[in-house]
Amino acid sequence: GRSWLHLAISADEDRNRRVTAVTTAMRLLLIASAVGLSQQLGAVPASTARVQRSRSAAPRAVEAHRGALRSRLVGIGSAAPDTVVTNEQLSSVVETSDDWISQRTGIRQRHLLAPGEGLSTLAARAAQKALESSGVDAASVELVVLATSSPDDLFGDAAHVAREVGATGAVAFDLTAACSGFLFGVTTASQFLHTGAYKTALVIGADALSRWVDWSDRNTCVLFGDGAGAVVLQAAVDGEGEEGVLGFALHSNGAGRPDLCLGYAGVERPLASVASVTTGTYAPISMVGKEVYKFATSRVPEVVGEALENAGVTADEVDWLLLHQANIRIMETVAKKLKIPMSKVINNLDEYGNTSAGSIPLALDAAVRAGKVKKGDVIAMAGFGAGLSWGSAVVRWG
């Protein structure tokens, strides 16, 4: 009797296991069919969506976003030293002439800081004008970025400039990228605004390269002047369509460093018999003109094209092309390659020369004040210079 009962129980257990297996398989088949149908209809179950998100999380995290940023340019200002030196006057300092300089560079004069005048004072003047232009209270500024390669204080001028204009609650720091500095500064500050970390920023480009020029070298001393420009940026709060930075692209290549540099040239100082250190100083600006020209005329059109593509804007839709004010021949070549007429190229090179990080905002301020650049205009900006570094941003003014 016990043997028969044992066999009956075993048979029932086996049958139950088979039923369970079949039921499980049918459920899985139904789930798979439902998922397939949902995918075809565009609706994915929540559990499946979570799995898909987890699988795609890594690629999305590293996906580049160089398109529109929720950052608007709402104010501009500039400042330059009172001292002006014309090409003719410079010919009494070094063997050159107005024709020689202007035909090769487009420069006719430059503004130079006098002894006792500081770069931070110049930067603060430009920043104050930008705040006045925007109608923004300095106390509401949360971020100050000062792009410069020639600060009064090697530890940085930004905090001092922020205090001078009344932005006492702002975090402030210097950014060094030479002639690309202002453009790098705008894109850096815009990231903070885009993410919501800050709502209002002040970006200043300022340089005094007259401090670091060899005034006996006519190939470099004729190029540079001193100046500063600033913009006020605010986070766009009205959503899509209100972005001021439409797209950007940034690059650098340290292999080109010897072509344009301002190198450390410390003098050895022994510390008794303990060690030797150096007393700090820098050599004058060194530039291989032909290499810089080739670099600028090849890389700048490329990077402007990248920024335009990232912005979803064509060259025909650009109202203004604003390049770092380095050399008129570079500007003409870049404009030609982009098929943008020179009538759309903003240029004040003849008055200020190459003011490095100050050149783009100086030129933009003049164009805004002259009524050329109007609210809603699309501007393709590009900076390039030492590093080597180069970049472009497509912005909508106002």
Residues sharing a CB contact under 8 Å with residue 292, sequence separation 6 or more, in sequence order: 259, 260
Which one of the listed residues 111, 160, 194, 324 is annotated catalytic?
324
- Please give the pLDDT value at position 38: 45
Which residue of the set 179, 221, 327, 348 is catalytic?
A: 179
Burial per residue of 258-288, b for 16 or more beta-carbon CB atoms within 10 angstroms, e otherwise: ebbbbeeeeeeeeeeeeeeeeeeeeebbebe
Q: Are 76 and 368 a contacting pair, CB within 8 Å?
A: yes
Q: For 233, phi and psi rounded to 5 degrees?
A: -115, 140
d(CA 245, CA 180): 16
Catalytic site residue 347? Answer: no
Spans of the chain, pLDDT less than 50: 1-9, 29, 31-32, 34-35, 37-62
Please name which of 192, 287, 263, 248 lies closest in space to residue 390, comparing C-alpha atoms.
248
Which residues, listed in sequence order, are joined to residue 250 by a DSSP beta bridge? 391
Residues in contact with 241: Cβ distance below 8 Å, sequence separation at least 6, in sequence order? none
Residues 6+ apart with CB under 8 A from 372: 320, 346
Distance, in Å, from the CA atom of 338 to the CA atom of 350, rounded to the nearest integer, reads 23
Whether 319 contacts 378, CB under 8 Å: yes
Element holding 203 (H helix, E strand) = strand 200-208
> pTM for this one?
0.83
User: Tens of pLDDT along 106-130?
Assistant: 999 999 999 999 999 999 999 999 9
261 a catalytic residue: no
pLDDT reported for residue 13: 59
Annotation marks residue 324 as catalytic: yes
CA dihedral 177, 179, 184, 186 (to 10 degrees): 130
| Closest of 265, 317, 358 to residue 78, by C-alpha | 358
- At residue 58, the pLDDT reads 40
Chain centre to alpha carbon of residue 329: 24
pLDDT for residue 237: 79
Non-local (6+) Cβ contacts of 337 within 8 A are 297, 301
DSSP 52-98: HHHHHHHHHHH----S-BSEEEEEEEEE--S-EEEHHHHTTTSS--H
